Structure 1
Amino acid sequence: MEKLTFEEIVKAVDGKIIINNNFHKYNYVSTDTRKICENSIFIALKGENFNGNNYIADASKKGSNLCIVDEINFKNEELQDYTSVILVENTRKALLDLAEYYRNKLNLKVIGITGSTGKTSTKDLTAAALGSKFKVFKTKGNFNNEIGLPLMIFELDNSYDVAVLEMGMSDFGEIHRLAKTARPDIAIITNVGISHIENLKTRENILKAKMEITDFFTEESILIINNENDLLATIEEKDYKLIKTGVENQLDYKAENIELGESYVKFSLENDNKEEKFKIDVPGKHNVLNALLAIAAGRVLDIEYDELKEGIKNLNVTSMRLDIVRANNYTIIDDCYNASPDSMKAALEVMNTLKGNRKIAVLGTMRELGDESHKAHKEIGEYAAKMGVDKLIAVGDYNSSYKEGFNNDENFKMFSSNTEAIKYLEELIKDEDIILIKASRSMKFEEIVKKLKLSN
C-alpha cells in the first residue's frame, strides 16, 4: 500500500489519539488478528459473535503498529512499545472512511461492478480484457461487502492502472456506502433479478439499490448496463454517460452471430462497418452478455479490439462458478458458490449444451427470496424439465416446490442432507453422465463435488 501518515489516519477516521508511540510505518491493513503481520494497522470490528476490541494485545504482539478501536478493552502495559491506538465512534465506519481517504490518494481508474447475478464472471472478464494494456487489480474471492471492499482497496497502490471492484448488497444503502468509499469512474450493472427480494420487497427496489452505484458520479463518469434486463432497459441517461449492451435492438455494443459451445461462446459485433469476432473460453449465453460489458469498459478506456481479444485469452475465472470438471468417466458442472433464479437458469442452459449420457441436476435452496421462494423454486423445476434434465435431485427447504415444477415423479428425488444425496448419487451415476451441482453458498454443496471427484 502507499504511504499513510499517522496524522492522515487520525483525520480520516475522525479519531481520538489514545496512545502515540511514534512508530508509524504501515504496510498492511487487517481486521483479523490471525492475518496480522509486521507493520500493520489492525481495525477492531465487532459482530454478533466476536469483538475485535478484545484482541488488541494479541494484535500488538503480532506486529500491529496501530490499532483502531471503538472500545478500550486493554491495559497499556499489555501493548508492545511500537503500538499506537486510536479510538473512534464506530470501527466499521472507520474502515470505510480510511479506505475512502486512501482511494482518493491513488491515481488510477476504478470500475465498480454490481448486479443480482454475474458480478464475479463480469469482474473476471473485465480484468482479463483490460489486462492486455493495463496493470489491473480485481476483487479477490467474495471480498465485495462493507468489510471486504475496503480491504481490497488497501491492497492497491499506484503501480496499478485500473481496479475492478465487485460490490455486493442485500439492502438499501450498502451500495451507496461502497460507492462513497470506492468512487468508481465506471460502473457496470449486470442485471436486476430477485436476489435479496426478501429484504427489498420488489425488483424495482432492487434496481434503486443497485443504482446507488452512481450516487457519487460526476459528468465524466460512465454507467454500462446489460440492456437485455427488463428493468435496466428502463434506465435513461442523466448527467453522466450511459452505455447499453445486449443482443436485441439498437445498442452501443450488440452481439450477433452467437455460437454456444460446450466450453466456449463465440459472437461478433460491428465496429465502423467491420465485424469484430470474439471467442470466450467459458460456456453459456449469459457470458456473452457479461463479455459485452467487459468489452464496453475496455473501449471506454481506449483499448483496441485486437488488444481486448488478446486480454480475454488470459481469462482466469473464480472457482466454484460453472467450473466444468471431468471426473472419472463423467462430467461435473461445479457451480456451488451461489444460486438465484437467473444463475440457476444459466447453469441449466450450459448443461443443455454439453454432450453426454444422462443430464442429472442436483439443486439446493436459493436463499433470501422471501415470499417469492416457492414460486421461484417451482419455476426452476419447470425450467429443468424444459432444458432436458433426465434426473432432478433436490436438497433443502423447497424440495416440494422443485418437484411440483419438474412434474416427473419417476425421475425426481429429494433429500434433506448432502450426505443422503451423495450416497444416492454414488449409486446412480454412470459413465458419460453430466451432473450439475448448484445451490446457495450456505448449502455447502462443494461437499458433494468433492465426494464425486473422489468416487470410482
Structure 2
Amino acid sequence: MELTVKELKEYSKGEFLTETTDAKINVLSTDTRKIEKGNVFLALKGANFNGNEYASKAFELGAEVCIVDEILFDLEKYKDKVIIKVEDTKKALLDIAHGYRNKLGIKVVGITGSTGKTSTKDLTTAFLSGKYKVFKTKGNFNNEIGLPLMILQLDSSYDIAVLEMGMSDFGEIHNLVKCARPDIALMTNIGISHIEILKTRDNILKSKMEITDYFSKENILIVNGEDDKLTNISSNEYEVVKVGYNSEYECFATDINATLEKTEFTLNYKGQKARISLDMVGKHNVLNALLGIEAGFKLGLSIEEMIKGLENLEATSMRLEFIDGKSVNIINDCYNASPDSMKSGLDVLKMKEGRKVAILGTMLQLGAEAKKAHKEVGAYAKDIADLLIVTGDFREDFKEGFEKESIKLYNTKVSLIEDLKNVIQKGDNILVKASRGEKYEEIVRELKNI
C-alpha cells in the first residue's frame, strides 16, 4: 500500500484527533488478530461486534494509525499515535480505496454475474498476464469490505487489476463500482442466485447492471450473448460487446471439445482463428474464457500473448477440483452452488467412467424458487448419477425430481458423514457440491480417507 497518513485523512474525509499526524505505514487491516508493526487499523462495526473497542489493542500490537468512528479508549494514552475520526468507517474504507485507485491510475476490469465470476476472474487474469502484470481478487473478497481491501493490496508495479464484484441486493454493486471505477466490465450470466431478496431475474439484471453506473464513452461492457437476459443489452452511453457461439459476434467459439483433462475450442476473432486449450473442465468455461479474451483484445493483447498467458493460469480451489482419495475419485466443487453450476458439475461427473455418485446439498438464497430449483437439479441428475446422496431442507425436492430409488436422504450433514463408509464403494466417482455456507468441504475431507 503506497499511501501517506495525510492521504488517509484526505480520502476518508476524516479529522486528526492527536497532534501526531505522520507515521510510516504499510498495510491497512480491519482485524486485530492480524495487526503487525506499521499497520493501519480501521475499526469496522458488525451485527455482533464493534471494532472501535479494539483500537487500543491494535496500538499495543504495533499499529501506527487507527481510523475510528467512535472513541472508546483514552486519547491521552495514545497521543503519540495517529488517530483519524471519520463519520462511518465502512464508508471510509470504500472512500480510501477509491482515492488509492485513482492515485495509482491502474486499469481495472470488473467482473459480475450470477455464476462463473471466479472462473472468469482466473481466466481473465491469465490471458492478460501474457503482456501485463495483473492483480486479481483473492478468494471471495468481492463485497463492500473485501473489494476495497483488495484494492489496498495493490501497488504501482501492477498494470491491471481484475476485481470480482458480488451482490445480494440493490445498490451493492453501485457502491463497489463507485469505489473501483472499472474501465471494462464483464458479465457472465443472469441466474436466480439471490432471487430470495430480488424476487425476479429482471431485478437481478438491474442490480448487476449497476456495474455500468459510472460508465461513459470510454468504457466497455462485455457480456455473455448466450444468456437470454444479456443478449439484447445495448447502450448509447458506452460500448457493449457480446461474445458466445453466434458467428455474428466479433469474438465467438466453435469446435468445442470438453474432456476430463481440459476444454478446447476454436477462437474466431475478426477473421483470425486460434485453438485455445484450457486446463479447466466444463464446457461452461468456454463462455467465461471468451469474456476474458475479449477484454484482452480491448486492452491491446494479441492472440499469441493471451495463449502464452494461459501458462500462468491459477484456478481458485474447490472449483471442479479433482482429488484422488484412498479408494475413490472426488470432484470437489464446494465453493458455491446455484442451479446452473449444479448442472455444470453434474456434466463433469457424467464424463467419468464407473459408478457415479452425486452428494448434493442446499442451494441458498433462492427464496420462492428454492423447491422448484432443487427438484430441477434432482431431475437433471436422474440420467447421470447412479447414486444421489442429499441432505438439507430441500432433500425431498431433490428426491421428487430424481424419481429413482437409488437416492439416500439424511437429516443432517453429520449423519451423512457418519454413514459414508456404508454407502460409498471403492472406485466411486463422487461429485460434492452445495452452497458455500453448507461447508461441504467437511464431506470431502472424510471421503479422502475412505
Matched, 1:40 2:35: no
**Counterpart residue type for residue 218 of structure 2:** E
Matched, 1:363 2:365: no
Worse overlay, 58-67 or 145-154: 58-67
| Deviation for aligned residue 1:47 | 0.3
**Counterpart residue type for residue 15 of structure 1:** G
TM-score, scaled to structure 1: 0.96
Deviations along 1:412-446, one digit per CA (max 9) or x if unpaired, are: 11112222212332222223311000001111111
**Counterpart residue type for residue 383 of structure 1:** Y
**Structure 1 residues 87 and 350: CA distance shift in structure 2, 3 A:** same
Matched, 1:407 2:403: yes
Contact 1:320/1:337, CA 8 A, preserved across alignment:
yes
Q: Distance in 1 between matches of 2:7 and 2:258?
A: 52
Q: Distance in 2 between matches of 1:193 and 1:398?
A: 19
| Deviation for aligned residue 1:167 | 0.5
Aligned match of 1:66: 65
| Deviation for aligned residue 1:406 | 0.4
Contact 1:399/1:414, CA 8 A, preserved across alignment:
yes
Q: Distance in 2 between matches of 1:219 and 1:314?
A: 32
Contact 1:99/1:154, CA 8 A, preserved across alignment:
yes
**Counterpart residue type for residue 417 of structure 1:** T
Q: Distance in 2 between matches of 1:82 and 1:439?
A: 50
Contact 1:40/1:65, CA 8 A, preserved across alignment:
yes
Matches within 5 A, 1:148-159: 148-159=146-157
Q: Distance in 1 between matches of 2:37 and 2:290?
A: 43
Contact 1:23/1:65, CA 8 A, preserved across alignment:
no
The residue matched to 1:373 in structure 2 has which SS?
helix
Matched, 1:328 2:326: yes
Q: Distance in 2 between matches of 1:364 and 1:141?
A: 21
Sequence identity (%): 53
Contact 2:35/2:63, CA 8 A, preserved across alignment:
yes
| Deviation for aligned residue 1:77 | 4.1
| Deviation for aligned residue 1:65 | 1.4
Q: Distance in 2 between matches of 1:215 and 1:272?
A: 29
Matched, 1:381 2:381: no
Q: Distance in 2 between matches of 1:286 and 1:402?
A: 23
**Counterpart residue type for residue 375 of structure 1:** K
| Deviation for aligned residue 1:76 | 2.0
Aligned match of 2:3: 3
Q: Distance in 2 between matches of 1:361 and 1:94?
A: 45
| Deviation for aligned residue 1:10 | 1.9
Q: Distance in 1 between matches of 2:206 and 2:45?
A: 29
The residue matched to 1:232 in structure 2 has which SS?
coil
Aligned match of 2:338: 340
Contact 2:391/2:411, CA 8 A, preserved across alignment:
yes
Deviations along 1:337-359, one digit per CA (max 9) or x if unpaired, are: 1111111111111111222x111
Aligned match of 1:427: 422
Aligned match of 2:14: 15
**Structure 1 residues 90 and 19: CA distance shift in structure 2, 3 A:** same
Q: Distance in 2 between matches of 1:290 and 1:412?
A: 33
**Counterpart residue type for residue 438 of structure 1:** K
Matched, 1:56 2:51: no
Aligned match of 1:27: 26
Contact 1:22/1:82, CA 8 A, preserved across alignment:
no
Contact 2:355/2:427, CA 8 A, preserved across alignment:
yes
Matches within 5 A, 1:77-116: 77-79=76-78, 82-116=80-114
Aligned match of 1:297: 295
**Counterpart residue type for residue 40 of structure 1:** N
| Deviation for aligned residue 1:272 | 4.5
- Where structure 2 has 5 or more consecutive residues not aligned to the other structure, the ranges are none
Aligned match of 2:312: 314
Contact 2:399/2:407, CA 8 A, preserved across alignment:
yes
Contact 2:251/2:270, CA 8 A, preserved across alignment:
no
Deviations along 1:240-272, one digit per CA (max 9) or x if unpaired, are: 111111113521211100001112111002235
Aligned match of 1:443: 438
| Deviation for aligned residue 1:380 | 0.4
| Deviation for aligned residue 1:369 | 0.5
Contact 2:362/2:438, CA 8 A, preserved across alignment:
yes
Q: Distance in 2 between matches of 1:437 and 1:298?
A: 33
Aligned match of 1:269: 267
Q: Distance in 1 between matches of 2:242 and 2:232?
A: 11
Q: Distance in 1 between matches of 2:337 and 2:319?
A: 10
Q: Distance in 2 between matches of 1:372 and 1:94?
A: 37
TM-score, scaled to structure 2: 0.98
Matched, 1:454 2:449: yes
Number of matched pairs: 450
Q: Distance in 1 between matches of 2:346 and 2:34?
A: 39
Aligned partner of 2:232 among 219, 231, 234 = 234
| Deviation for aligned residue 1:40 | 1.6
Contact 1:245/1:293, CA 8 A, preserved across alignment:
yes
What is the root-mean-square deviation of aligned Cα atoms in Å?
1.3
Q: Distance in 1 between matches of 2:130 and 2:238?
A: 27
Q: Distance in 1 between matches of 2:200 and 2:19?
A: 50
| Deviation for aligned residue 1:237 | 3.0
The residue matched to 2:257 in structure 1 has which SS?
strand
The residue matched to 1:93 in structure 2 has which SS?
helix
Q: Distance in 2 between matches of 1:295 and 1:82?
A: 51
The residue matched to 2:97 in structure 1 has which SS?
helix
Deviations along 1:292-313, one digit per CA (max 9) or x if unpaired, are: 1111111111111111111113
